[in-house]
Structures are given as structure tokens and as C-alpha cells.
Amino acid sequence: MSSEQATKVVFKGDDNAEYFVIAQPGMVAKWKKDKTIPLIDVVQSFDVFTTPSGSVTGEAIRPSNSTLENVFSTSNKDDIVKKIVSEGEEKGHGQL
């Protein structure tokens, strides 16, 4: 990724691990007020990430479908990204 600015939207699962997506700066708040904005304009991709240790540091990995099923009751990335953006918290403005 270039020097483009991005923000992380973090959702804490029942397993206490943090799951996140990378979003365009300022777009999460706009989307929460206006759900007619397509999610593709909010997030940079429909990839869901976590860190193996469950902390905010460490290498970001894509959780397995079974992990996603356990945490989100689905492995459908569209539904999971929507839940993370809806219920998650924006963190980490800057370069990612």
C-alpha cells in the first residue's frame, strides 16, 4: 500500500480476539449515518484480519472460516464486514 491513509475498524469477539477490516478515513462515520453508501466505498477490501495473539500488535492474518463461524455465526465475508463496520470501533488512523 502506498502512503495512502487508512483506518482500522476493530470488533472484539466473544473469544476476546480482535477482528478488523481496513477502511477509508472518515467513511465509517458517513456510512453509519447513511447506509445507502455501498460498503465497497467504505472498506478497502472485504478481507477480515486478526492477530494470532489477539493483541493489537503482531502480524495480521486471515482467520479460518471455522473461526469466523464461531465468532460471527457465519463465514460470509459480506455479512462479517458489515457487522464489523456497524459494531466495531475505528482505531489507528495513519499508514497501515
Q: What is the pLDDT of residues 42-77, one digit of tens each?
A: 999 999 999 876 555 678 899 999 999 999 999 999
- Whether residue 40 lies inside any domain: the answer is yes
Cβ count within 10 A of residue 1: 9
Q: What pTM, to 2 d.p., does this model score?
A: 0.86
Ranges 5-19, 20-34, 46-60: which has the least confidence = 46-60
Range of the domain at 35: 7-90
- Grid cell at residue 90: 475505528
- Whether residue 95 lies inside any domain: the answer is no
- Whether residue 2 lies inside any domain: the answer is no
Q: How many domains does the chain have?
A: 1
- Whether residue 86 lies inside any domain: the answer is yes
- Alpha-helical (H) ranges within 1-96 are 27-33, 65-72, 77-87
- Whether residue 1 lies inside any domain: the answer is no
CATH number at 85 reads 3.30.1250.10
At a CB cut-off of 8 Å and minimum separation 6, what does 82 contact?
39
Angle between helices 65-72 and 77-87 (to 10 degrees): 50
